[in-house]
Amino acid sequence: MKKEDPVKGKRNLYKEKIESDLVIVGGGMAGTCCAITAARAGLKVSLVQDRLVLGGNASSEIRLWILGATSHMGNNNRWAREGGVINEILIENLYRNPEGNPLILDALLLEKVDSESNIHLLLNTSVYDLEKRAEDQIDSVKAFCSQNSTEYNLKAPLFVDASGDGILGFLSGAAFRMGAELKSEFDEKFAPDQGYGELLGHSLYFYSKNTGKPVKFVAPAFANKEIAKLPRFKSYNLKEDGCRLWWVEYGGRTDTIHASEEIKWELWRIIYGIWDYVKNSGKYQDVANLTLEWVGTIPGKRESRRFEGDYMLTQKDVVEQREHADAVSFGGWALDLHPADGVYSDKPGCTQWHSKGVYQIPYRTMYSRNIKALFLGGRLISASHVAFGSSRVMSTCAHNTQAVAIAASLCINNKLLPADLVQDQWIKTLQSQLIQTGQYLPKINLVEKKDLAQGAEIHVSSEYHLLELPFDGSWKPLEFAMAQMIPVPVGKLPSLTLKIKAKSATTLRAELRNSQKLGNYTPDHHIEQITIPILKGEDFYTLKFNYQNDKPQYIFICLMDNDELEVQCTNTRLTGLLSVFHKFNKAVATSSIQEPPLNIGIDTFEFWVPERRPEGHNLAFRLEHPLKVYGKENLLNGIFRPTLQPNAWMSDRSDPSPELKLEWVEPQTIHKVNLYFDTDFDHPLESTLMGHPESEIPFCVKSYRIKDDMGKIVYAQKDNHQSINTINFDLPIQTKKLVVELDHPSDNIPAALFGILCYGKE
């Protein structure tokens, strides 16, 4: 038994001191992906999260789906899913949880963090104070866990503020902003005025379910009884569960930090008011058996402080896709602002303006300009209010903060501070290390001197030549214009033969297009147009263009809409090959042409978007001559997803045992091999609510074997579904030859690999 006599004064809390290399405050997607990346880079990490589980707005407490540059597949950013740990998590979530149950994601995030022995995770622990070692440097932070009644002192040379509201930045005295910049400050013509408002509000959601028997609902006294007067409520329908209720937003006219509790109460009033109206107004059919299954208790916070780094990301960086020597991440969600009056506004719930392609995010936005060892992570990075409208989505936040993690490891290993890394030599090292982990940096290739594969001669058992996609698929009516994207190397574009079915004699207008800006997938440059007569019935037709391609790029063969026509598709799916349609996704756009008002600094352009599987088939076609775009040289080009070309070696589909061989003149000692597979970076992989038709990406090689020069299997994998496989050999292998045997993912999809890296002792 423990018995204590009365004490004079007061008792002290139980105290624990933890020292690590990096303290990360906030376990949202940004903090979580940062912690895992840093731990894998060898840092000792303390991850402090004030809530019960990880994931922040993506957790089961709030239930937002994780999104990023793929933008629900509703803009022209192709193969734009973020890489690294966030990708690994989304792919694993797809595998275990294609239905999008937020509780499964909670468990997955906990598992991922728990399996990193370098992470000390403190859940239910709130950071509330800090100590400084100098005016511009944090020494340690103080946190309290009410569950174990412990006060923590967390000491480290480096800190990351990924807390959303920026508790660490605020307490440490870091420069920050809250609200919107004037248009004039960064020449941002989309900057809102006071009428629209300067801050995005919070939102709360609910889920309902059918109980199979009548259930009554007595609304709590605080429920809003005048819900039908809300402007947005007119278009509400019962399918809007969970984060489809994003428009239930409030608080943008208040202090979104200190008024957070009041905002939550207002949102509860609205939520319960909506449900009261659904159940009891008599205006809804078939609601007798419905009940509330879940109502949010913690509002999702969109915006509060944004901290100032050595650079602020602005509208022009996003729209003009400006390039930065210190690019360590990228974005691609629309500039997405909301009226500050939220659900009480008569304006549309959001205004989204897309760029023509993805944009780079510079490293200088990711550390405080005045507090030396403080990194910025998540939504609070150094961005203007307008640019934040795009950079705030969770995959972008996570991807940025993965860059922070590798930057932190460079700082620790080389005794540097965050701002020191801006020098060219360090940025290049940072970029290389990031790309190896799967981070995607648009327009930047991996240059890795330590990669032994670069010194090997490569042989492959076969190479896919793009010549014919079998005429074995369904027919696609040309209700919308359709384009087949074709990766074309330098040289003449071959003619293309299609199979067309016509209800009556008509003409087909075909346009050849590419992107004005190399690397984009907005077909805004019209190269050539032809019109060909089509007879009633089904037949083959050949499209001949006179185009000579002077740089490797994707060319769009656009078949313009015609209600009389259908084209035949193929069942074959290939890495880096897509068809797109001139239509729009109403989740992120309002029309198939983005037509902004004049003078807001936004581009007008057409959306050409893919369809999701199980649709999304390529056209069946035969080319006049083969396009050799899947060569073995792609394995060593340091790009691990399609960009200007597919960037993959792909075996011929008739090859019974595809293999690649690396041969060296001298024996090599290999400790580690990285293989980069195709997990379809075009697919957004929304984490919650919205299910997916598959649990594994069909392009991904599932089984493979690695052999040494004696033919001995040194590694075998039978059940892969991940993008990157890192194989660490317990005993390094000595060999002059490394053979990787791949199995085709399926009959319709030949085996492909983006890259292979081999390492000696690090």
- Tell me the Ramachandran region of residue 460: left when phi exceeds 0, alpha when psi lies from -120 to 50, beta otherwise: beta
Q: How far is the CB of 643 from ligand FAD (least distance, A)?
A: 23
Tell me what percent of the chain is helix, strand and coil, each rounded to the nearest 5: 20, 30, 50
Tokens matching residue 495: 């003619």
304-333: contacts with ligand FAD (CB under 6 A)? none
Q: How far is the CB of 737 from ligand FAD (least distance, A)?
A: 45
Segment interacting with ligand FAD (CB under 6 A) among 59-67, 342-350, 490-498, 745-753: 59-67
Q: Do the beta carbons of residue 362 and residue 324 sit within 8 Å?
A: yes
Q: CB-wise, 397 or 453, nearer to ligand FAD? A: 397
Segment interacting with ligand FAD (CB under 6 A) among 350-358, 386-394, 530-538, 750-758: 386-394
What letter does residue 21 receive in the DSSP assignment?
S
Whole-angstrom distance, CA of residue 245 vs CA of residue 212: 24
Q: How far is the CB of 299 from ligand FAD (least distance, A)?
A: 7
> Residues 23, 91, 156, 167: which binds ligand FAD (CB under 6 A)?
167
Q: How far is the CB of 667 from ligand FAD (least distance, A)?
A: 47
Q: CB-wise, 128 or 540, nearer to ligand FAD? A: 128
Closest CA to 755 of 628, 630, 634: 634
Peptide bond just before 614 cis, omega within 30 deg: yes
Q: How far is the CB of 203 from ligand FAD (least distance, A)?
A: 3
Q: Do the beta carbons of residue 61 and residue 297 sit within 8 Å?
A: yes
Q: What is the DSSP string of 525-545?
A: EEEEEEEEEE-SEEEEEEE--
> Residues 20, 22, 23, 26: which binds ligand FAD (CB under 6 A)?
26
> Residues 20, 24, 28, 650: which binds ligand FAD (CB under 6 A)?
28
78-137: contacts with ligand FAD (CB under 6 A)? 126-127
Binding to ligand FAD by residue 30, rule CB under 6 A? yes
597-636: contacts with ligand FAD (CB under 6 A)? none
> Residues 279, 301, 372, 499: which binds ligand FAD (CB under 6 A)?
301
Cα angle vertex 74, ends 68, 76, to 5°? 85
Binding to ligand FAD by residue 49, rule CB under 6 A? yes
Whole-angstrom distance, CA of residue 579 vs CA of residue 583: 12
Binding to ligand FAD by residue 385, rule CB under 6 A? no
Q: CB-wise, 243 or 565, nearer to ligand FAD? A: 243
Q: How far is the CB of 201 from ligand FAD (least distance, A)?
A: 8
Closest CA to 311 of 400, 431, 443: 400
The set of residues, in sequence order, having a beta carbon less than 8 Å from that of 693 and lying 6+ positions away, is: 98, 612, 613, 614
Q: Do the beta carbons of residue 596 and residue 590 sit within 8 Å?
A: no
Q: CB-wise, 248 or 756, nearer to ligand FAD? A: 248
Q: CB-wise, 65 or 236, nearer to ligand FAD? A: 65
Binding to ligand FAD by residue 138, rule CB under 6 A? no
Binding to ligand FAD by residue 246, rule CB under 6 A? yes
Binding to ligand FAD by residue 397, rule CB under 6 A? yes
What letter does residue 112 receive in the DSSP assignment?
H
Binding to ligand FAD by residue 393, rule CB under 6 A? yes
Segment interacting with ligand FAD (CB under 6 A) among 51-59, 100-108, 316-324, 455-463: 51-59
Segment interacting with ligand FAD (CB under 6 A) among 27-35, 222-230, 272-280, 460-468: 27-35
Tell me the chain's radius of gyration from C-alpha atoms. Answer: 27
> Residues 41, 43, 48, 444: which binds ligand FAD (CB under 6 A)?
48
Whole-angstrom distance, CA of residue 293 vs CA of residue 754: 44
Segment interacting with ligand FAD (CB under 6 A) among 60-68, 268-276, 424-432, 535-543: 60-68
Pairing of strands 22-25, 158-161: parallel
Q: How far is the CB of 204 from ligand FAD (least distance, A)?
A: 8
Q: Do the beta carbons of residue 390 and residue 342 sit within 8 Å?
A: no
Segment interacting with ligand FAD (CB under 6 A) among 45-53, 219-227, 574-582, 598-606: 45-53
Pairing of strands 158-161, 374-376: parallel
- What's the number of CA atoms in the CB half-sphere (13 Å) around residue 599? 2
Segment interacting with ligand FAD (CB under 6 A) among 1-9, 158-166, 360-368, 658-666: 158-166
Whole-angstrom distance, CA of residue 471 vs CA of residue 449: 45
The set of residues, in sequence order, having a beta carbon less than 8 Å from that of 96 and lying 6+ positions away, is: 104, 108, 695
Binding to ligand FAD by residue 203, rule CB under 6 A? yes
Q: Is 264 helix (H, G, I), strand (E, B) or coil?
A: helix
Binding to ligand FAD by residue 343, rule CB under 6 A? no
Q: CB-wise, 63 or 573, nearer to ligand FAD? A: 63
Tokens matching residue 609: 């978007």
Q: CB-wise, 122 or 559, nearer to ligand FAD? A: 122
What letter does residue 28 receive in the DSSP assignment?
B
- Which stretches does DSSP call E strand in 489-614? 491-492, 496-502, 506-514, 525-534, 537-543, 548-549, 553-559, 565-568, 578-581, 593-594, 605-606
Tokens matching residue 236: 């509400």
Q: How many residues sit in the footprint of ligand FAD (CB under 6 A)?
A: 37
Binding to ligand FAD by residue 174, rule CB under 6 A? no
Q: How far is the CB of 90 from ligand FAD (least distance, A)?
A: 11
Q: How far is the CB of 157 from ligand FAD (least distance, A)?
A: 20
Binding to ligand FAD by residue 164, rule CB under 6 A? yes
Binding to ligand FAD by residue 77, rule CB under 6 A? no
- Compute the Cα dihedral for 175, 299, 222, 233 and give only its sign: positive
Binding to ligand FAD by residue 356, rule CB under 6 A? no
- Compute the Cα dihedral for 323, 327, 332, 334 and give only its sign: negative
Tokens matching residue 411: 């700082």
Q: How far is the CB of 630 from ligand FAD (least distance, A)?
A: 33
> Residues 41, 113, 121, 162: which binds ligand FAD (CB under 6 A)?
162
Q: What does the buried/exposed string (b/e) look like for 368-396 if buried means 16 or more CB atoms within 10 Å of the residue's CB?
A: bbbbbbbbbbbbbbbbbbbbbbbbbbbbb
Q: CB-wise, 26 or 755, nearer to ligand FAD? A: 26
What letter does residue 8 receive in the DSSP assignment?
S
DSSP bridge pairs for 176: 307
Q: How far is the CB of 391 from ligand FAD (least distance, A)?
A: 9
Binding to ligand FAD by residue 24, rule CB under 6 A? no
Binding to ligand FAD by residue 701, rule CB under 6 A? no
Q: Where are the alpha helices (DSSP H) in 296-423?
A: 315-319, 385-391, 394-414
Q: How far is the CB of 403 from ligand FAD (least distance, A)?
A: 14
- Positions touching ligand FAD (CB under 6 A) are 25-31, 48-51, 56-57, 64-67, 126-127, 162-165, 167, 203, 243, 246, 300-302, 378-379, 392-395, 397
